[in-house]
Amino acid sequence: MPPVINKEKCVGCGTCAQICPVDVIKFNKSLGMPEIRYPEECWHCNSCVLDCRQGAIRLRIPLPAQLLYVDVKSVRGE
Ligand code: SF4
Ligand code: SF4
């Protein structure tokens, strides 16, 4: 499943678009918001979720990829 961006929480910082290694997320300058451009390319690395300080990105990780999953709250010490 590709990431889902909560537009209510997103502040349009653009970090997720910068961090995505495969250009799944592109920043739409005219909207001032990121958008999911190539959802089928997502490899579920979880980087966008980890780097979004607003907690605005939700990602459902497929079972095989869960072996590599890092819980964002444990990384931040929350
Ligand atoms: S990192 Fe989070 S707050 Fe920043 S643009 Fe992406 S979804 Fe929005
Ligand atoms: S999980 Fe990784 S590949 Fe997928 S959108 Fe986020 S940063 Fe890009």
What domains can be seen in the chain, in order of their start residue? 4-61 (3.30.70.20)
Q: Which residues of the chain have pLDDT under 70?
A: 69
Q: Is 36 in the pocket of ligand 1 (CB under 6 A)?
A: no
Three-class secondary structure of residue 6 per DSSP: coil
Nearest Cα to 62, choosing from 22, 17, 2?
2
Torsions phi, psi of 66, nearest 5? Answer: -65, -20
Q: What pLDDT, on the 0 to 100 scale, is given for residue 78?
A: 73
Best residue among 15, 26, 58 to mutate for probing ligand 1, ranked by most atoms within 8 Å of CB: 15
Distance (angstroms) between ligand 1 centre and the Cα of 8 equals 11
- Phi–psi pair at 5, nearest 5 degrees: -100, 125
pLDDT at 19: 96
How far is 27 from 68, CA to CA, in rounded Å?
Answer: 27
pTM of the model: 0.83
pLDDT for 58 equals 94
- What pLDDT is stored for residue 4 in this prediction? 95
Q: Are the beta carbons of 42 and 24 closer than 8 angstroms?
A: yes
